[in-house]
Amino acid sequence: MKLSMNLVSLRKDPLEERLKAIAEAGFEGVGLWVSDVDEYCNAGGKLEILAALLKELKLEVPEICALGGWHLVEDKTQVKAEVERIGRMCKDLGINKTVVICPVAWEAEAPLENSVNDYKELCNMGKEWGLIMGLEFLGMRKGINNPVSAWEIVKEAGCENGGVVVDVFHLLKGGGKPADLLSIPGTGIALVHFNDIPADRPLDSLTDADRLLPGEGVAPLRELLENLKQVGYEGWFSIEIFNPQHQARPPLEVCKEAIERAKGLLI
């Protein structure tokens, strides 16, 4: 199992410095955000230089965050343009078969057929660029907020470059259980966002800012990991938290703590 650090987990130091901290701590991958790459380029950075740094640091890019606005939208002109932009960016950075995180931020139930058609269209957009379109359910939403309903969409769409993004926080926030993962084949999971939840707050009051590093809280992570192993998941575990306390700390310090905690769970 390979570990990646998502950039959102770290203080907004210069991108090069965050990448170096991630690599020095021992991570094999980094979760990039389109916004971080845009900021880097707007400040005068060049994609070829960034590509060379990723290669030098031996960092893979298992995920690109994030692509929204595709679900239940009739005019997908802007979505198609953004997929193409991400595809070109990945090509320039030498990134192959990365997972584009595609959240479903819908506040109501929708006919399954509509969601399937939209997702299938999205996957077709990404296919020509070699992108895996990872459908991420959001636990705080009223619509698609759990892995079972997300998998139903992915399964019905039947796209080779499709898959569910399982985020521990969203799974628990949406009322899901570790056992829910047993209904999804490992090949149907595109990526796992690895994080934890605190013990001193009720689940329904938690927000993204309350996320903790894996092993720092009370989420049933060992059961989740065992179930992922049982269904044959062999992909990436990306540490993604939005916790301002960790985001205020030196990136290398956070990365070292994160990888030590995560490896303790993955053994």
CA atoms within 13 A on the CB side of 51: 12
Characterize 216-242 residue by residue with b for buried, 16 or more Cβ atoms within 10 angstroms of its Cβ, and e for exposed. bbebebeebbebbeeeebebbbbbbbb
Mean pLDDT of 201-214: 96
Please check the confidence at residue 108 and state whether its pLDDT lies above 80.
no
Place of tokens 């379109």: 133
Mean pLDDT of 220-247: 98
Place of tokens 């969203």: 170
pLDDT at position 266: 83
Tell me the per-residue pLDDT of 129-185, one tens digit each, with 9 for 90 and over.
999 999 999 999 988 999 999 999 999 999 999 999 999 999 999 999 999 999 999
Please give the helix or strand (H or E) that residue 239 lies within, else none: strand 236-239
Of all residues in the chain, what percent carry a pLDDT higher than 70? 100
**Which of 164, 170, 171, 168 is CA-nearest to residue 185?**
164
Residue 178, token pair as written in the block: 């570790």
pLDDT at position 131: 98
Tell me the per-residue pLDDT of 44-96, one tens digit each, with 9 for 90 and over.
999 999 999 999 999 999 999 999 999 999 999 999 999 999 999 999 999 99
> Which tops the pLDDT comparison, 37 or 108?
37
CATH topology for 2-266 is: TIM Barrel (3.20.20)
Please check the confidence at residue 105 and state whether its pLDDT lies above 90.
no
pLDDT averaged over the chain? 96
Please check the confidence at residue 109 and state whether its pLDDT lies above 80.
no
Q: Are strands 60-65 and 162-167 parallel, antiparallel or unpaired?
A: unpaired
Say how far apart CA 174 and CA 165 lie, in whole Å: 14
* Domain ranges, ordered by start, for the chain: 2-266
CA dihedral 20, 26, 32, 38 (to 10 degrees): 0
Please check the confidence at residue 107 and state whether its pLDDT lies above 80.
no
Residues 6 or more apart from 233 whose CB is under 8 A from it? 186, 189, 192
pLDDT at position 1: 79
